[in-house]
């Protein structure tokens, strides 16, 4: 049941944020590949595919290790600190941003790059005003330790404390 709820959340939220809105911004009729940048457009496939993999791996870890979903109303019951969560605290958001950045390159769209930047600001605000305070309340000292050991957005270079 948790996996089904995760699938539904994935279709509704990341599907809207990373597929429907970018399609609307680029224009569904203009979703042909960027013509002016030639072969460079294909560079966009790398962040797009990595982003999809990040999201799916994190969703899997939420279901299997966390016993919950990515939805704030049905969050994991256990703190997830495995997989990509050992590198950064927000790999799911990083994955979505990678997807949109890859789409921006693939379709040659400055609008999508601006959208990714605005989305990053929204994610940062949500994380710092709701998500992190909620996780501190739910998981206490173990979350504090995790925050001290794992950076929010960019992985540390060198040995990790986790």
Structure tokens given for 16:
């809207």
- In the predicted model, what is the mean pLDDT of residues 53-67? 93
**What was the pLDDT predicted at 2?**
87
Residues 108/36, Cβ–Cβ less than 8 Å: yes
- The sign of the torsion formed by the CA atoms of 138, 139, 145, 146 equals negative
Predicted confidence (pLDDT) at residue 26 exceeds the cutoff of 90: no
Average confidence score pLDDT of the chain: 89
**Domain edges within the chain:** 2-149
**Phi, psi for 82 (deg, rounded to 5):** -110, 175
For residue 40, name the pLDDT band (cuts at 50, 70, 90).
confident
Q: What is the dihedral of CA 4, 22, 50, 6, to 10 degrees?
A: -10
* pTM to 2 decimal places: 0.89
Q: Please name which of 66, 74, 80 lies closest in space to residue 150, comparing C-alpha atoms.
A: 80
């Amino acid at each position: 049941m948790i996996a089904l709820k995760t699938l539904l959340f994935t279709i509704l939220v990341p599907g809207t944020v990373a597929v429907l809105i970018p399609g609307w911004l680029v224009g569904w009729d203009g979703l042909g590949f960027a013509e002016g940048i030639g072969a460079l457009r294909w560079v966009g496939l790398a962040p797009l595919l990595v982003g999809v993999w990040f999201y799916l791996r994190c969703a899997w870890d939420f279901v299997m290790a966390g016993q919950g979903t990515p939805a704030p109303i049905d969050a994991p019951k256990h703190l997830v600190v495995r997989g990509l969560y050992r590198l950064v605290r927000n790999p799911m958001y990083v994955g979505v941003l990678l997807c949109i950045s890859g789409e921006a390159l693939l379709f040659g769209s400055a609008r999508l790059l601006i959208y990714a930047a605005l989305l990053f600001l929204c994610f940062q605000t949500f994380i710092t005003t709701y998500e992190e305070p909620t996780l501190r309340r739910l998981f206490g000292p173990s979350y504090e330790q995790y925050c001290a050991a794992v950076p929010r957005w960019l992985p540390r270079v060198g040995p990790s404390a986790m």
